[in-house]
Amino acid sequence: MFLTGIIGGVNAQHNAGWPFYIAFEDAIGERDTIWMVMDQDATLNADTFLNEVPIVLDTDSFNVWIMYMTDGQHPYEVFAVPLYGNVDALVFAENYVLPLTASWDTSLFQAEILHEVLGYGVNDARLENEYMPLETGFNMLETDHVEMPWFPWGSQSHFPLFVYISCGPTDDVPTDDVDRSRLKLYPNPVGDRLYMKSDVPASSYVIYDISGRLVEYRGANRFATGETEIVLPPVHSGMYFLKVTFPDGTVALEKFVRD
């Protein structure tokens, strides 16, 4: 699905408030597209009216998909969340020839509906993997595409590719710098207890594993400024992501390793 398929995809979202796509093309011209939708009627469950349904992968073709974060088992072409200002997803792919090119429409970051409902547009949009490290990532706000070449270290794969989009007021200080100064995690690697330190009280936090499966969620008004102890649930060793939301709507994201 690409070009005319993108237009058809938008129509297929019916009343989707904010449909955002990333279109992928590999070295031999094979193409596929994923959608990250924010909508006022979306829920944390799969919303069929937004075409958020599991897909059947053609194992002989180039496929790009999002692993649905609730069940962590089924591939989706469309990932929908409530229109509250943040989208984060893990993207997977198979049967491609490097280099890959990913492209998107940067004008959607300042879509009218975002300003009408939230009061501001997107102020942080990043792609992250071993090639584009989590600490910095690739800034999607500065251009409308990125070439993803082969690289010789780690997994030697671009996937899973972490996509992070956040709406908020524009600030003269780069969002990455603000996020890193607002949130500190230690120790890392960690055993059963992780400590989180922030300059203001956090509203909530979410822990995801590397496949995008939700591990734990803690809601609003649970945390104080300074050090907060997080007793980790029983989980396997490996990499995890901690996403913290602050009262002003900004989000900090950090990775940690469980021993």
- Whose structure tokens read 């104080």? 224
Three-state DSSP class for residue 255: strand
Tokens for 143?
């251009």
Q: Are residues 27 and 150 in the same domain?
A: yes
139, 221: one domain:
no
Residue 158: φ, ψ to 5°: -85, -5
pTM of the model as a whole: 0.64
Beta pairing, strands 204-209 & 161-167? unpaired
**In terms of DSSP bridges, do strands 31-39 and 63-67 run parallel, antiparallel, or are they unpaired?**
unpaired
Q: 224 and 199: one domain?
A: yes
* pLDDT for position 178: 39
Tell me the residue range of the domain where 211 lies: 175-258
Tokens of 236: 């396997």
161 with 241, same domain: the answer is no
- Let me know whether 55 and 154 are in one domain: yes
pLDDT tens by residue, 129-153: 888 876 678 989 889 999 999 888 8
Residues 142 and 237 reside in one and the same domain:
no
Give Cα 74 to chain centroid, integer Å.
17
95 in the same domain as 219: no
Among 127, 133, 75, 82, CA closest to 104: 127
Q: How does residue 84 score in pLDDT terms, banded at 50, 70 and 90?
A: confident
Domain final residue, candidates 144, 167, 190: 167
DSSP 190: B
Q: What is the pLDDT of residue 112?
A: 85
Count up the domains in the chain and report the number.
2
Residue 70 has pLDDT above 60, yes or no: no
Measured from the Cβ of residue 167, the count of other Cβ atoms closer than 10 Å reads: 28
Q: Are residues 179 and 162 in the same domain?
A: no
Phi, psi of 123 (to 5 degrees): -115, 0
Tell me the C-alpha distance between 226 and 104, whole Å: 39
Residues 116 and 138 in one domain: yes
Distance between CA atoms of residues 89 and 69, nearest Å: 8
CATH number, domain containing residue 210 = 2.60.40.3080
pLDDT band at 5 (very low <50, low <70, confident <90, very high): very low
On whether both 185 and 215 belong to a single domain, the answer is: yes
Burial of 140: CB neighbours in 10 Å, binned 0-12, 13-18, 19+: buried
